[in-house]
Structure 1
Amino acid sequence: MSPAIEIGWNVLLAAAEIGLFLRLRATGATTGRAATRLALPLLVALALSLPVAQEGFAVMRLWAWGVFAHGPFLFLALAVLAKGRARVAFASAAAVVLAVATDAFLIEPKRLEVEHIRLTSAKLKSPIRIAILADIQTDDVGAHERRAVRAAMQEKPDLVLLCGDYIEEEDDARRRTQHESLRRIFLEESLAAPLGVFAVEGDNDWGDWLDIFTGLPVRTSKVTFDAQAGAVSLIGLSLRDSRRTNLVVAPVSSFLIVFGHAPDFALSNPPADLLVAGHTHGGQVQIPIFGPPITLSLVPRDWAAGGAHDLGGGRTLVVSRGIGMERGSAPRLRFWCPPHVVIIDVVPASDQRGATSK
């Protein structure tokens, strides 16, 4: 969606809203009539967003403008026109929407968390700490991305897994600049681990994503690969294989980790002890109790929401909510779904403290 369409949509809608408000105020319309008239331009604009934007994320962006910018204006206009308790109710509604918008667009996208998950396994004789960095997904590398990498490295992981979607930028020159900025952060924050650092491809990565890791102690691959990381066997999935729901994985006697970008491969019930993925961003927007309305994944909504999930048979799926957000035409927000770095501690089953997740 071009900036001209986005600006034009908002300007025309704002002009219609302001014109109606002034007319309703001059004529002394009742609150009910004013609410109906003022809501009409917004409802029409939202209905027209699909043919105007012509792309899913762009439609969501226009809807976000409608809800979080034009919505408060609607409530404030009604507060001016109303009287008594209705005035207070409309003003309160505007304040709530503005508060949610402030959190979703300005606060929560940068409110990085470090989630610790603890598991046990009879296949290990010594503990192992794994750091998960998923969906850095930015077009403006800066302090937030540095904090995420630093937070992971401060945990002193034995193994680091990067689950794809590093830079989302279509322009070649700008993408190369962002690649170099992210590479510099990895260098300066000493991205390394005793058992290795492994990176796979995401669906927003262009063909040159491998350049990010030039000169770094990171094993990268665009195809599915096997590796040995100390006592741990590792399978890194190609983007295509991470989406397969009929993935075939040969069982091994050692502790096995299978990781990829999308979590859909978990539906094939691979005989792995630990399955790791990103991609969903936890939905980016979660509704309390319900969870994420949109996940762009085939897995159950509670899996896609993020965290650790017991799949039975000694298998655990960990889905990261990611560090970044959808870029391009998508609305850049998070709500009830802060970004996070995931730290997984797997300890021998003889450890009497048991398996916990927090």
Structure 2
Amino acid sequence: MTRAGRGAATALGVAAAVGLGAFAWGALVERTRFTVRHEVLPVLARGARPLTVLHLSDLHMAPWQAEKQAFIQSLVRYEPDLIVDTGDNLGHVDGLICVKEALEPFEGVPGVFVHGSNDYLGPVLKNPFGYFRAPSIRHERSVELDTAALELFFEDELGWLDLNNTARAMEIRGTRIEFYGTGDAHRGWDRLATLPGAIDEMRENVEWDESSTGQVLGIGVTHAPYQRVLNSFVNQGADLIFAGHTHGGQVRIPGLPALVTNCDIPREQAQGVSVWRTPHGGAFLEVSAGIGTSIYAPVRFACPPEAVVVTLVAPN
């Protein structure tokens, strides 16, 4: 072999070793390197008491994931005033019992939720490089999950409000909050045309506590942050929007935006807090990288799993 050939072979060997090491890190270490991201957002009325919001998304829970369950249970230490769950809680046909165990410590904590497609349909094996071509599509071999039982747990046992294509209201620590949500826009299950009517109906029927502040905080909640949904929320008066779905790109190059988003949001807004603007206004946008991954793509790189603790405060 010539010197050039030996050099090329060495370079290929090094590249292969680096690639294998990166894959091992992503599959064996970072995938379960659970983190908590903290954000502070000045969206409350002056004089209002701060609110702690726990944002959970994309649990993709499977029965054997005890470490993930323990991490979620440990988040009770933040004593949230509100939990926002942006969907894809299930990751396996038998995942519900583990979701229940993980969220049991939060019984009685006010919460709201929307579904992602993986709360209806189980994951399937597919080519991960397909995400670079276009957002994923439903596969006919997907297994239907027990969505009704998940909803029963959220609503009846935890006391959370279902926001799938509807609007609800609640008062927390003296702050009046209007919530509006959608079904999973990634599957076209959002019903934006009905949202204004749902908001009007909610406003006609809500009875606020007279001791709470007169200012109302608007919060939009969706699984997949498609631009049409974000625009609609802002146009309806949202001050803050919560979303998931993107996994933050899941596999990233350190220091660069997400490589893929699996929707039409700009790559630099696929994780974290940013501002979403329309000609009618703007709102803070909080997108979680999620806590889990599909059981068929159990790798993360430069994008660890996360829960997000958002402290809502009055402006200085």
Counterpart in 1 of 2:211?
none
Q: In the aligned structure 2, how far is the partner of 1:162 from the partner of 1:147?
A: 17
TM-score normalised by length of structure 2: 0.73
RMSD, matched Cα: 2.8
CA distance, structure 2, for counterparts of residue 241 and residue 94 of structure 1: 39
Structure 1 residue 339, shift from structure 2 partner? 0.7
1:261 aligns with 2:183: no
Q: Contact 2:57/2:244 (CA < 8 Å) preserved in 1?
A: yes
- Residue 153 of structure 1 deviates from its aligned partner by 1.4
Give me the identity figure in percent. 27
Residue deviations 1:6-49, cap 9 Å, x none? xxxxxxxxxxxxxxxxxxxxxxx6687xxxxxxxxxxxxxxxxx
1:311 and 2:234 correspond? no
Specify whether residues 141 and 199 from structure 1 end up closer, same or farther in structure 2 by C-alpha distance, changes over 3 A only.
Answer: farther
Which residue pairs with 2:67 in the alignment?
144
> By how many angstroms is 1:149 displaced?
1.7
Is this contact kept in 2: 1:199–1:218, CA < 8 A? no
Instruction: Provide the residue aligned with 2:314 in structure 1.
Output: 348
User: Residues 232-311 of structure 1 correspond to what in structure 2 (within 5 A)?
Assistant: 232-240=176-184, 253-264=215-226, 265-268=229-232, 269-270=234-235, 271-304=237-270, 306-311=271-276
- For structure 2, the residue ranges without an aligned partner over 5 or more in a row are 121-144, 204-214
Instruction: Kindly provide the amino acid, as one letter, of the partner of residue 54 in structure 2.
Output: A
Query: Is 315-324 or 119-128 further displaced after alignment?
Result: 119-128
Distance 1:141 1:286, change over 3 A: same
Match of 1:128 in 2: 51
**For the residues of structure 1 that align with 2:108 and 2:25, how far apart are their CA atoms?**
34
How far the C-alpha of 1:310 sits from its partner, in A, is 2.1
Question: Which protein shows a greater Rg?
Answer: 1
Higher mean C-alpha deviation, range 264-273 or range 291-300? 264-273
1:159 corresponds, among 82, 87, 92, to: 82
2:159 to 215, 218, 237: 218
Q: Select 1:209's aligned residue among 132, 147, 152.
A: 147
Q: Work out whether 1:183 is the aligned partner of 2:84.
A: no
What's the CA shift for 1:241? 6.0
> Match for 1:226: what amino acid?
R
The structural deviation recorded for 1:168 is: 2.5
For 1:195-235, what per-residue CA distance to the aligned partner results, in whole angstroms no more than 9, with x for missing partners? x1222211111262242353522325344231213213232
Query: Quick one: higher RCO (CA 8 Å, sep 6+), 1 or 2?
Result: 2
In 2, Cα distance between equivalents of 1:324 and 1:311? 25
Residue correspondences, number: 260
**1:117-142 CA deviation, whole Å, 9 max, x = no partner?**
00113525111110001010133353
1:319 deviation in Å?
0.3
C-alpha distance in structure 1 between counterparts of 2:184 and 2:19, whole Å: 40
- Confirm or deny: 8 A CA contact 2:248 2:290 kept in the other structure: yes
Give the TM-score normalised by structure 1: 0.65
Q: Which amino acid aligns with 2:273?
A: A
Report which of the two has the higher share of helix. Answer: 1
Corresponding letter in the other structure for 1:150: Q
